[in-house]
Amino acid sequence: MNPPVSGTRDAWRTFADAAAPTLAAWQRVLDDPAATQRQRLAQILDTNRDTAFGRAHGFAQIADAAQYRERVSVHSYAELEPWIERAQRDTQPVLTAQPPLFFERTSGNSAQQKRIPYTAAFLGELQHALTIWLADLYRRVPEIGEGRAYWSISPPLQAPGRAPNGIPIGSESDFAYLDGSIVAGLAATLIVPRLASDASDDTSAWRRQTLLALIEAADLAFISVWSPTFLTSLLRPLFDADDPTHRDTLAWLEAALPAPRRAALRHALEAGSCDALWPRLAAVSCWMDGPSRDYAATLQARFPQARWLPKSLFATEAIVSVPFGDDEGCPLAVAGHYFECIFDDGTVRETHELAPGDIVQIVVTTGGGLYRYALGDRVRVVCMTDRTPRIEFVGRVGAHSDLVGEKLDEAGVASVLAACIAAGDSACLVPCAAADPPHYVLLVASEVPCDRDALSVAVESGLARSFHYAHARRFAQLGPVRVRHLAGSPARLADLLQQAAEQTGVRAGDVKPRALVNRLVTADALLALTQR
């Protein structure tokens, strides 16, 4: 039985009333990001001046952003890691005056698993952004309050552990992020799959139970996921007759669903869309820029009844932007962290100094103890809300592959593929490090066969514009690009990348579309999946 609509409606109204002051304050902030950012930096430095990191870098003597840049260098995770490791051993304040509540593990596409300190202050910054997003979403699309919601909560890849000083490593659930916030009141409106205690160890069981819970929910009104490829892969066993689990999944669902939902499922399968399954679905939120753009556009055809809304740039380490308003992109989260923006020539600017068209790397300082931390994300300023830049994700900085010194980066590869691949098709370049000589495999998913030889030549020519790749080919350190055609929907490539990433330790909801797969264990898994 679905809960009464009045319950979800009341929960959303209660939340919206509680969030109204936060939303009003946020709208004032947008008109003066410079003052807000000065206050955020001063507050973070003053709060943490007596920590080990604060004393080592003279926080007490820093008067402004210029002095902050002089005393504290930009950090990668590897450069900050000794301090984070110390914060897992010591009982005295190392990075922050507040002790971390837990160290969250990252599980993205990078080969290195990071441990990010989550303090009460950092959770407050995160919850502030969630409050603004959801309150503005409800204001713009109140129909989401007419039914339940599904938020992508991936099962943890590892059981929580303990640091030497007793602080937990890993959260029990993503719901831990909501503790103590007004957003937590919406938890009762969420669709939560019925999972056995050990279901997180069985990805196929977790997916099947998630799909069942969604199809059972005739009142589904809102879907929030990160990558559109996650939702595509979840629905693939329903709509793709070539999927090896298609028949078994449908038979299992037929046996598990009540008669009205079985009928709705049959109607959806006949139509090839989900409006018969979820007639109340008002909105879907996911990444819709950068490498996710084409995948989101393809997926929208499955949900003609819903409004599609872009997700912000949100990493384990920081919240960079907040979905707000109807304009393109999302405003920088200037009321949360302190941001600096680095141009390709090394020039550093603050947020209020940006203009539409600027492309920059993001550096953050957070209440969790990340100081001048280089996120590795490149963003483009698309327009402004009052005086605050609205941004869209462009790609990762340093997402590169370097088997023998060829130094391929994702942005360059994406540019080559865009020039060589037919519109509507999807492709990614995958290193084959185990071959002799090593080489790259171009995976192309399309409805019609491609001329593999011609495509190999075209991609080789594009990659060879890079001196290092041309040098490696000239001296036979690398073999030529080989092409594998994946027949069927262009979305098939995203599904296979999703499978390969999950098989190699990336959480289901964190998998991102890629033009270049640079994580070798994921590359090997993807090549194995496409071998035949």
pLDDT tens string 178-227 = 888 999 999 899 998 876 554 445 667 888 899 999 999 999 999 998 87
Tens of pLDDT along 258-286? 999 999 999 999 999 999 999 999 999 99
Query: What confidence tier does 454 reach under pLDDT thresholds 50, 70, 90?
Result: very high
At 406, is the secondary structure helix, strand, or coil?
coil
Per-residue pLDDT tens digits for 220-231: 999 998 878 788
Q: What is the pLDDT of residue 450?
A: 87
DSSP at 332: B
Contacts of 2 (CB under 8 A, 6+ apart): 148, 217, 218, 219
Both tokens of 151, joined, read 């938020």
Q: What is the pLDDT of residue 477?
A: 79
CB 22 within 8 A of CB 134: no
Residue 104 has φ and ψ, to the nearest 5°, of: -85, 135
Greater pLDDT, 228 or 432: 432
pLDDT at residue 1 in the model:
46
Query: What mean pLDDT do residues 361-372 have?
Result: 96
Structure tokens at 360: 């920059």
Q: Which residue would you say has higher pLDDT here, 35 or 402?
A: 35
Contact indicator for 326, 307 with CB cutoff of 8 Å? no
For 223, the enclosing helix (H) or strand (E) is: strand 220-224
pTM of the model: 0.79
Neighbouring-strand partners of residue 104:
116
CB 198, CB 206: distance < 8 Å: no
Outline where 95-142 has alpha helix (H): 120-140
Please give the pLDDT value at position 111.
Answer: 44
User: Per-residue confidence at 110, pLDDT binned at 50, 70, 90?
Assistant: very low
The strand order across the sheet containing 388-396 reads 330-331, 388-396, 373-385, 359-365, 338-342, 348-349
The contacts found for 188-191 with CB under 8 angstroms, 24 or more apart, are: 188/7, 188/8, 188/11, 189/7, 189/8, 189/11, 189/12, 189/148, 189/149, 190/148, 190/149, 190/150, 190/151, 191/148, 191/149, 191/150, 191/217, 191/220
Mean pLDDT across the chain, nearest whole number?
89
Give the number of C-alpha atoms closer than 13 A to the C-alpha of residue 455, restricted to the C-beta side: 22
Give 400's contacts (C-beta < 8 A, 6+ positions apart).
Answer: 407, 408, 409, 410, 516, 518
- Give the residue among 281, 274, 332, 330 at the shortest CA–CA distance from 308: 281
Mean pLDDT value across residues 163-191? 87
Which pLDDT value is given to residue 109?
Answer: 42
Reported as a single tens digit per residue, the pLDDT across 53-99 is 999 999 999 999 999 999 999 999 989 999 999 999 999 999 999 99
Find the range with the poorest average confidence among 328-337, 370-379, 494-503: 494-503
Percentage of the chain exceeding pLDDT 90: 61
Residue 342 half-sphere exposure toward CB, CA atoms < 13 A: 18
- Give 382-428 pLDDT, tens digit per residue: 999 999 999 998 877 766 787 877 878 887 898 899 999 988 889 99
Average pLDDT over every residue of 230-242: 85
Per-residue confidence band for 376, with pLDDT thresholds at 50, 70 and 90:
confident
Question: What is the secondary structure of 7-51 as a DSSP string?
Answer: HHHHHHHHHHHHHHHHHHHHHHHTT-HHHHHHHHHHHHHHHTTTS
Q: Identify how many contiguous H helices and E strands the chain contains and give both numbers.
A: 16, 19
pLDDT at 147 over 90: yes
Report the run of H or E that residue 529 belongs to, with start and end.
helix 520-529
Report DSSP letters for 259-302, one per residue.
HHHHHHHHHHHHHTSSTTT-TT--EEEE--SGGGHHHHHHHGGG
The predicted pLDDT at position 154 comes to 62
Please tell me which residue, 47 or 506, carries the higher pLDDT value.
47
| Cis peptide upstream of residue 437 (ω within 30 degrees of 0) | yes
Which strands sit side by side in the sheet containing 482-487, from one edge to the other? 426-432, 439-446, 482-487
Mean pLDDT to the nearest integer, 147-164: 80
Altogether, the residues listed in the chain come to a count of: 532
CATH architecture of 400-529: 2-Layer Sandwich (3.30)
> What would the pLDDT profile of 345-356 be if each residue is shown by its tens digit?
899 999 999 999
Q: Where in the chain is the domain with CATH 3.30.300?
A: 400-529
**Predicted local distance difference test score (pLDDT) of residue 23:** 96
| Listed residue (35, 59, 40) closest to 49, CA to CA | 59
Indicate the pairing of strand 148-151 with strand 388-396. Answer: unpaired
User: Distance (Å, rounded) from C-alpha 510 to C-alpha 529?
Assistant: 20
Dump pLDDT digits (tens) for 288-323: 887 678 778 888 989 999 999 998 888 889 999 999
pLDDT mean over 117-138: 95
